[in-house]
Amino acid sequence: MAATIGGAVGLAGPEPQARLRDRLAGNGIAVTVARLVRTRKGASGLAVLLALILVATFAPLLARYDPNENHLEAQLAPPSATYWFGTDELGRDIFSRVLFGSRPSLITGLLAVTLAASVGLLTGIVAGYARGWSDILGMRVWDALLAFPAIFLAIGIVSILGPGWINGTLAIAIVNIPVFARLVRAVTLSVVQRDFVMAARATGCSDGHIMRVHVFPNCLAPVIVQMAIAAPDAILVEAALSFLGLGSQPPNPSWGNMLSAAQGYLYRSSTYALFPGLAITLVVLGMNYFADGLQDAIDPRRLSGGRGGAAR
Amino acid sequence: MQRFLLQRLVLLAPTLLLASLLIFAIIELAPGDPAQMMLGPDATPREVATERVRLGLDRPVPVRYLIWLEDVAHLNLGVSLVYDRPVTALVLEAFPNTLRLAVSALVLSVAIGFPLGILAALRQNQPVDFALTTVSSLGLAIPSFWLGILLILLFSVRLKWLPPSGVGSPDQGFGNSITYLVMPVCTIAVSNLAVFSRFVRSSMIDVLAADFTRTARAKGLAERVVVTRHALRNALIPVVTIVGIQFGRLLGGALITEAVFAYPGIGRLVVTSILNRDYPVVQAALMLIVLIFLAANLAVDLSYRYFDPRVSPGGAA
């Protein structure tokens, strides 16, 4: 579908070009969403994603207390009608903190993956289109980054930048760049062999124009799928960094640093550690389902083939 | 095979070199002056300057990189800024613990993940398959640090069956030291066995639908023979490579799990060293991890070539 868009756009005049692209793109999104919600996994994944966005956006309205307000008379209280999820060691309402804790998770998930996708798109297209030294050098650098297990590389980067939520997000983005760059390079290598790119070259289009107008749109579908796959992993790594004290810093709530604090009170409160972990699990599970559903929606052939997760 | 191995080793060299450059950059770019950190806040500027010369910090960066590379090759990794002990000794103390943890978790995840994957494939689209697929999805979504905490809550706090943290002392006997391993190993194994069962299921479904399986059935072979002799053997070829690739994930899992269970391995050493800004230890530990990770990938390439001789030297990457 995307190839047709690129091809058609390349050969039509400027006015019909834009209209055709908008119409096809609009239809493409509608068809993909319709296919997505038709599967159980896709629908439940989309519901979790929308719920996460709503909770993160309206946390101040949904929360029963200020997430950093101490209630010293109710330290480590069990769940009750007053404190739905109980309280922590300073008497802060865990329910409110779980709601506010969705913000760093969501923002890291979206921001880190978008950053990684942007850099990956840029470097991948240039490497795949120009080939030569820029390709060899770029890919060697990404290979070197891929030589580290993701969490080790992330904490190595955080050790340079210093602990904190923004630095953690940046580290997660850097960790994810190689996968996007390699994916985009592979798509670019295939696209530049297609007839519409040859035609664009024959009509005298510049390299920049071909990369921007013909190659870029064709890379978008696989990049979006990869973003959906990478986002839950980014959320897990952010939670892990916060758990280790290298991501979001207290007193601001994040699910990772809440679990880290809860670990010190396991003998005094058995419910403190339950809810932040449950929130991470639900969100990651939902986003994994969303990614699975999105892949099926974009490439329906997967539905009839093996769906055991070989691609994941 | 030897030529293939040589080619892979040559291809690994630039990756290893770039990885070493990145690790070296960690010390160079990290905030704080190592000389000042070693001498403490009371040191005079003159003392700091002398220490900088002694540590070679006054030399140009490329020269320092080459010296560091030579030191790494000779396993001379410097002295820990916090423990005041040779880094090599610290890393060699922690590494066997991590290896024990990672290998035990790998064995457990293969022992459980493979049969579950085969069962799910044989019962495709039946309730057993849906149940196993759902459980494996859950296994992938549960953060290992939360699972570790839940296990401590159940087996240490409630039931008091297992110790919540540490590694025990050697004079307490083998049986006792096993009790310290049970929860960390299970924590790491859960997400890995979920990955393995998914891959085995997917691979088995493909192979069970292949022509040679149909032919085996058409010959009148018993279903057990078709599954074990024909399908399983072929299905395991791609899966074996996943086991190697997952080793890196296991090391990552070990890092978090060691922090949860206060287990004295490489992961905990890296985290505490980063928090203490003990950069020589961070560098050494990261270098060791990269080496293991690349060795595991090399083993994957070789196993792929062994199981499928059609793989060309350039095509296995």
Residues 85-124 of A with CB under 8 A from B: none
pTM, entire model: 0.84
Top mean-pLDDT range of A1-15, A84-98, B204-218: A84-98
Flag whether pLDDT at A291 surpasses 80: yes
Nearest CA in chain B to A152: B252
Phi then psi for residue A156, to 5 deg, are: -60, -45
CB count in 10 Å sphere of residue A234: 27
CB-CB under 8 Å, B137 with A273: no
CB B279 within 8 A of CB B34: yes
Q: What are phi and psi of B237, to 5 degrees?
A: -55, -55
What integer pLDDT is reported at residue A5 of this predicted model?
38
Question: Residue A8 above 70 pLDDT?
Answer: no
Looking at residue A13, its pLDDT comes to: 44
Per-residue tokens: B201 = 């299921």
Q: Report the distance separating Cα B204 and Cα B118, nearest Å.
A: 7
- Among A43, A103, A33, residue whose Cα is nearest residue A67: A103
Q: What is the rounded CA–CA span in Å between residue A199 and residue B225?
A: 56
| pLDDT band at residue B90 under the 50/70/90 scheme | very high
First to last CA, chain B: 15
Cβ atoms of residues A276 and A90 within 8 Å? no
For the ranges A172-181, A183-192, A298-307, which has the lowest average pLDDT? A298-307
Q: What is residue B303's predicted lDDT score, i.e. its pLDDT?
A: 74
Cis upstream peptide for A251 (omega within 30°):
yes
Instruction: Chain A: give the shortest CA distance to residue B36, in Å.
Output: 17
The DSSP string of A273-286 is: THHHHHHHHHHHHH
Residue B173 pLDDT: 74
Residue A121, H or E segment: helix A94-130
Shortest CA distance from B249: residue in chain A = A149
Given pLDDT bands bounded at 50, 70 and 90, which one contains residue A18? low
Q: Where are the alpha helices (DSSP H) in B219-278?
A: 223-225, 233-260, 266-275
- Provide the pLDDT for residue B175: 77
The predicted pLDDT at position A14 comes to 46
Q: Is A145 on the interface with B (CB under 8 A)?
A: yes
Chain A residues 226-255 with a CB less than 8 Å from chain B: 232, 236, 239-240, 243-246
- Residues of chain A in contact with residue B15, where contact means CB-CB under 8 angstroms, are 140, 143-144, 147
What is the rounded distance in angstroms from the CA atom of residue B93 to the CA atom of residue B98? 10
Subunit contact A277:B150, Cβ cutoff 8 A: yes
User: What pLDDT is stored for residue A116 in this prediction?
Assistant: 96
Asked if residue B299 lies in contact with residue B8, where contact means CB atoms within 8 angstroms, the answer is no
For an interface test with A, the pick among B29, B116, B146 (most A C-beta atoms closer than 10 Å) comes out as: B146
Residue A183: which residues within 8 A CB-CB, separation 6 or more?
Answer: A120, A124, A222, A223, A226
Amino acid code (one letter) for A78: P
**Tokens at residue B231, please?**
């399908």
- Helix, strand, coil content of chain B in percent (nearest 5): 80, 0, 20
Q: Across-strand partners of A93?
A: A87
Q: Is the pLDDT of residue A253 over 60?
A: yes
Q: Does pLDDT of B271 surpass 60?
A: yes
- CB A98, CB A62: distance < 8 Å: no
Mutate to test the interface with B, among A41, A139, A160 (most CBs of B within 10 A): A160
B86 strand-pairing partners: B79
Using 50, 70 and 90 to split pLDDT, how confident is the model at A36?
Answer: confident
Residue range A295-304, pLDDT digits in tens? 888 876 655 5
| Coil/strand/helix, residue B56 | coil
Contact A243 B145 (CB under 8 A): yes
Distance, CA of A70 to chain centre: 33
Could you tell me the sign of the dihedral formed by the alpha carbons of B275, B280, B283, B287, in that order? negative
Indicate whether B215 pLDDT > 80.
yes
Cβ contact A165:A108 at 8 Å: yes
- In degrees, to the nearest 5, what angle opens at C-alpha B22 toward C-alphas A246 and A240? 25
The two structure tokens encoding residue B228: 């074990």
Instruction: State percent of chain B over pLDDT 70.
Output: 95
Chain B touched by A49 (CB under 8 Å): no
Mean pLDDT (chain B) is 85
pLDDT for residue A308: 37
Q: Is pLDDT above 80 for B69?
A: yes
Distance of alpha carbon B192 from alpha carbon B252, whole angstroms:
11
Angstrom distance (rounded) from CA A85 to CA A91:
12
Q: Which residue has the higher pLDDT, B171 or B193?
A: B193
Quick check: B209 pLDDT over 60? yes
Q: Give the ipTM.
A: 0.83
B146:A312 CB<8 A: no
Question: Which of A79-93, A148-162, B177-191 shows the lowest mean pLDDT across its residues?
Answer: A148-162
The H or E element spanning position A155 is: helix A150-161
Could you tell me which of B101, B109, B190 has the C-alpha nearest to residue B150? Answer: B190
Nearest by CB to B252, which of A150, A284, A288? Answer: A150
pLDDT at position A93, please? 96
pLDDT higher at B313 or A192: A192
Closest Cα in chain B, distance from residue A16 (Å): 44
Query: Sorting pLDDT into bands at 50, 70 and 90, what band is B154?
Result: very high
Out of A35-39, A276-280, B212-216, pick the least confident: A35-39
Identify the residue with better confidence: B309 or B208: B208
Chain B: residue nearest A311 by CA? B199
CB–CB contact B140 A149 (8 Å): no
Residue A309: the pLDDT is 36
The 10 Å Cβ neighbour count of residue B224 is 8
Question: Nearest CA of chain A to the CA of B147: how many Å?
Answer: 8
Least confident of A252-266, A285-299, B98-112, B303-317: B303-317
**Residue B4 Cα, gap to closest chain A Cα (Å):** 20
The CB density around residue A274, as the number of other CB atoms within 10 Å, is 20
Q: Tell me the torsion sign for CA atoms A296, A120, A112, A311.
A: positive
- Using a CB–CB cutoff of 8 Å, tell me whether A277 touches chain B: yes
Find the range with the poorest average confidence among B85-89, B127-131, B169-173: B169-173
Name the closest residue on chain A to residue B154, using Cα atoms.
A270
B205: nearest CA partner in chain A: A306
Mean pLDDT for the stretch of residues B228-233: 84
B167 compared with A178, residue with greater pLDDT: A178
For the stretch A32-39, contacts whose Cβ atoms lie closer than 8 Å and that sit 24 or more positions apart, written own/partner, are A32/A294, A32/A297, A32/A298, A33/A297, A35/A296, A35/A297, A35/A300, A36/A293, A36/A294, A36/A296, A36/A297, A39/A293, A39/A296, A39/A297, A39/A303
* pLDDT per position as a tens digit, A124-173: 999 999 888 878 888 878 877 887 778 888 888 887 788 888 999 999 99
Chain segment B19-61, per-residue pLDDT in tens: 888 888 877 777 777 777 777 778 888 888 888 888 778 888 8
Residues 6+ apart with CB under 8 A from B176: B168
- The minimal CB distance from B146 to the residues A270, A280, A306 is found for A280
Instruction: Give me the pLDDT at residue A10, please.
Output: 40
C-alpha span between A198 and A203 (Å, rounded): 9
The share of chain A scoring above pLDDT 90, in percent, equals: 58
Which of B284, B302, B198 has the alpha carbon at shortest distance from B24? B284
Q: Identify which of A82-91, A148-157, B41-50, B171-180 has the greatest average pLDDT.
A: A82-91
Residue A184: in which H helix or E strand, if any? Answer: helix A165-191
CA distance A145 to B232: 35
